[in-house]
Structure 1
Amino acid sequence: MAHGAPACTYVAGVAGRDGVWACWVGDSRAYWLPGEGVATAMTEDDTGEHEALSAWLGADAGRPEPHLRSFRPSTPGLLLLCTDGLWRHFPTATATALRDRTHVGAVRGRARTDALRDRTRTRGLDAARALVDHALAAGGQDNITALLLPAGPRSHPG
């Protein structure tokens, strides 16, 4: 990466009842945060020696090769998309620490009414804000982005 050239990393996700997909370039990450069980990273950083970026988007990036990963969750949960400004502040057992911080159990179910859906969205937004607040409290000064998307099979019949 040339000094001063505009550049960024990228992560995108699609989450639904039938599957979860993540696409990325660089060190922005996607995590699967199940309502119960072990949280897992869906992405692998494009970094080399000393964590230097080996792939990014920008004027001097050449032709980066985006990565794509998908799977079908067996339980409801959340897809977390985030930048290094967030995940760097969860140094040990990152995925599980992120999952525990989101209180996934509060947002894992699918709502049947608009009122319940609105409340679920609010809880998801509150969980994302809690993650960002944690990173800021830990001294985060880099760009901090967190997005939580509910996914997985419905937690109720019908």
Structure 2
Amino acid sequence: MRTGALPEIALQDAAAHAGRAVSALAASVDAAPACTYVAAIAGPEGIWCAWIGDSRAYWLPDEGTCLALTEDDSGQHDALTAWLGADADDSPARTRSYRPQDPGRLLLCTDGLTRHLSDADALRAVLTRARRPTPPGHGPLDDARALIGYALGAGGQDNITALLIHADRSRRGY
């Protein structure tokens, strides 16, 4: 980004780099680790995200309608159709941009979380409950812990990852 690359190009390059790194871990195509991928850039002009597989990005405004920014790469029986790894095809990451008008949080997460909270409004509801009343010093790490705690309490059988970025254009920009 410091070199002036467009966010979409930077995200595509990052996804390709991640794919090469995962592929390099393979002992063979038959013994190839694989993973899904989601990344985002939040800047003064908006939010950009890229994904491969079923890791997701959501915009969770403080007020108003929540929005899923990604769509799972899955086919029949919810089987993945795209992933990173030596046995993956070379399809580029899909990208999307969004320009929020109001403050909120950008959530990047794995399917271990969304298996238990697949709706953007349900994700925000867990965060809203975790913030009542908001203790001093409460921040994005506390919000991520609340989401992960919910998924673990619901059975959490898969990897559960959550990253939240608070964004408020009126104070610091996106």
State TM-score, norm by structure 1.
Answer: 0.81
Stretches of structure 1 that go unaligned for 5 or more consecutive residues are 107-115
Stretches of structure 2 that go unaligned for 5 or more consecutive residues are 1-28
- How far residue 3 of structure 1 moved from its aligned partner, in angstroms, is 6.8
- How far residue 64 of structure 1 moved from its aligned partner, in angstroms, is 2.4
Q: Which runs of 4+ in 1 moved over 6 A?
A: none
- How far residue 45 of structure 1 moved from its aligned partner, in angstroms, is 0.4
Which residue in the other structure is 1:103 paired with? 128
**Aligned positions of 1:43-82 closer than 5 A:** 43-82=70-109
CA offset digits 1:56-102 (Å, max 9, x no partner):
000100202201101110001110000000011025xx100101212
Counterpart amino acid of 1:7?
A
CA offset digits 1:96-134 (Å, max 9, x no partner):
010121239x6xxxxxxxxx9xx3xx4211111000000
Which residue in the other structure is 2:158 paired with? 142
Q: Using the alignment, how far apart are the partners of 2:30 and 2:168 within structure 1?
A: 42
Counterpart amino acid of 2:154?
A
The answer to whether the aligner puts 1:18 opposite 2:34 as a matched pair is no
Q: Using the alignment, how far apart are the partners of 1:63 and 1:133 within structure 2?
A: 35
What SS does structure 2 have at the residue aligned with 1:103? helix
Select the structure with the greater relative contact order (CA < 8 A; seq sep ≥ 6): 1
Q: Using the alignment, how far apart are the partners of 1:103 and 1:148 within structure 2?
A: 14
Which residue in the other structure is 2:19 paired with? none
**Aligned positions of 1:33-44 closer than 5 A:** 33-44=60-71
What SS does structure 2 have at the residue aligned with 1:47? coil
Counterpart amino acid of 1:141?
Q
What SS does structure 2 have at the residue aligned with 1:31? strand
- How far residue 16 of structure 1 moved from its aligned partner, in angstroms, is 3.3
What SS does structure 2 have at the residue aligned with 1:13? strand
